[in-house]
Amino acid sequence: MNAQELIESGNLELYVAGSLSVEESREVETAIEENPEIKKQVEMIEAGVITLAEAVSPPLSAFIWSQIVENIRKVRNLSDSRTSSTNWGAITGWAAAILAFVGIFWMLKQKNDLQERVQYTTTQNTVLEEKATNAETELAEANDVLDIIRSKEYNSFTLPGNQAVAPQAYAKVYFNKKDKIAYIDAKGLPEAPRGKVYQVWSLTMQPLTPTSVGLLDNAENKDRLFRIDMGQVATTEAFGITLEPEGGSETPTMDQLYTLGQVTP
C-alpha cells in the first residue's frame, strides 16, 4: 500500500502501541525509513500518546522522567549514527515503557485513594457505632430512672423559687422516704455561674437544722437529674437548694437560697 493508504489504515497507531505482528511491524519500519511523511506521522502519534498519558495520569517524579528521557536519547543517538536504518522498534519500546510507568503510577494512586476512602469510611462507621451505643445506653438509663421515679415508692414534690433571690426558679424532688433516696430535677434552676455550684440541704423544721446531702454538678450531669442517697439523714421534712462556692459549704448561704419546699404530707 502507498503512504496515504498506510496512514489511513490505522497500522501506524497499532505499530506505536506494539500490537502489530512481526511481519507487519517490519513493513511499517521499511515504510518509515523510505518515506519521511510516514516517519513524521509516527512521531506525531508517539507524541500524542505520551501527551495523553501525562494528562490522565499522576505526575512522575523528576528522577524517573530524567531516566526515561536519557535512555530514549541514547537510543535515538545510536539510531542517528546509522545511515542505513532507524531503530524505530527501540524507540517504540521506550514509548511503551513510558506508558507502562504511567500506568503503574496511576494504579498505585488509585489504590492509595481507595485505601484512604476505605479507612475514612471505617472510621466514620466506628464513630457512628459509638454514638449509637452511647445513645442506647443513655436511653436505657433514662428509662430506668423514669421507671423508678414513677413507681409508688416515690412521691413528687415541687420546691418553689425564693421570691427574694430567684422568683422564677424551681426544682422537682422525687423522694422515697423508706429507702431515703431522692432524685432532684434541677432543670428549673438557672445555670450556675463559673466557680459556683448548687448544694442540696435536707432540713428539719423544729429546730431548723440543715444537713448537706449533695452537690448538683451540671458538668457531670447534662440532663440535670441527680440521684441523692440520704441514708445518713435521720429525718427530712424539707429540701432547700443554695448557690455555693465550688466544692460546697459546711452551712447554707441563706442569701443565696434559690428554692425551698416541704416534703411532708
Give CA–CA dist 214/27, Å, rounded: 99
Give CA–CA dist 41/110, Å, rounded: 33
- Asked if 257 and 240 count as a contact pair (C-beta separation under 8 A), the reply is yes
Q: Please name each of the domains of the chain with its CATH number.
A: 3-110 (no CATH), 155-262 (2.60.40)
- pLDDT tens-digit series, residues 3-56: 777 777 777 777 776 667 788 888 888 888 888 888 888 788 777 666 655 554
Q: Does position 159 have pLDDT exceeding 80, yes or no?
A: yes
Helix H or strand E encompassing 137: helix 88-149
- Asked if 262 and 169 count as a contact pair (C-beta separation under 8 A), the reply is no
Give CA–CA dist 171/189, Å, rounded: 7
In this prediction the pTM is 0.49
Higher-scoring residue by pLDDT: 4, 159: 159
Residue 45 has, within 13 A of its CA and on its CB side, a CA count of 21
Q: Does position 119 have pLDDT exceeding 80, yes or no?
A: yes
Neighbours of 7 (CB within 10 A): 19
pLDDT at 83: 43
Q: Taking phi first (over 0 means left), then psi (-120 to 50 degrees means alpha), and beta for anything else, what does residue 112 get?
A: alpha
